[in-house]
Amino acid sequence: MKNFVVKTIANAGALAVAIWLLADITLSGGDTGRKVLTLLVVALLFGLVNFLVKPVVQLLTLPLFILTLGLITLVVNALMLMLTSWLAGLFDLSFHVEGFWTAVLGGLIISVVSWALNVVLPDED
C-alpha cells in the first residue's frame, strides 16, 4: 500500500512539474486545495492508464519499438498523457493537454521527473 501511495505522489509531482513548465498543459479550477485534489485524482487516473492501457499499446507497438530503437516510447507516453486528458474531461476534472507535441514534451518531462522522484522516495511495501 505504501508503494502505491509513493508512486501516486511521484506521478502527482511529475504532473505538477509538467503543468508548471508547459503552458499548454493546464490545471484550472478554484483555490489551491481544489487544484491539489484534482492533481491527485489526475495522478491516480494517469497511474491507472499506465497500468492498464500502456502494456497493451507497448505490446502492439513492439515491432516499431525495435525498428525505432525505443523512440516510439515517446509517442506511447504522449498518447497515455492525451488519454488521461480525455478521461479527465469525461470525469469533469480541470486538466487538459493541448496538442500532440505538447503531450510528447509533457510525457518526456513526466518520465524524467517521475523517475527522479521514484529514486528519491522510499520504495517499500
Joined together, the cell numbers standing for residue 13 give 509531482
Q: Give pLDDT, residue 81.
A: 94
- CA 53/CA 80 separation, integer angstroms: 8
Q: What is the pLDDT of residues 14-70, one digit of tens each?
A: 999 999 999 999 998 778 888 899 999 999 999 999 889 989 998 999 999 999 998
- CA 51/CA 118 separation, integer angstroms: 16
Q: Residues 71-75: contacts with CB within 8 Å, 24+ apart? A: 74/104, 74/107, 74/108, 75/104
Q: What is the pLDDT of residues 107-120, one digit of tens each?
A: 999 999 988 988 88
The C-alpha angle with vertex 7 and arms to 4 and 8, in degrees rounded to 5, equals: 85
Q: pTM, whole model, 2 decimals?
A: 0.88
- Name 55's Cβ contacts closer than 8 Å, sequence gap at least 6: none
CB atoms within 10 A of CB 104: 17
124 pLDDT band, cuts 50/70/90, is: low
Decide if 77 contacts 108 (C-beta within 8 A). yes
Q: Using only C-alpha atoms, what is the Rg of the chain?
A: 14
In Å, how far are 17, 71, 79, 97, 103 from 100, measured between CA atoms? 18, 15, 8, 8, 5
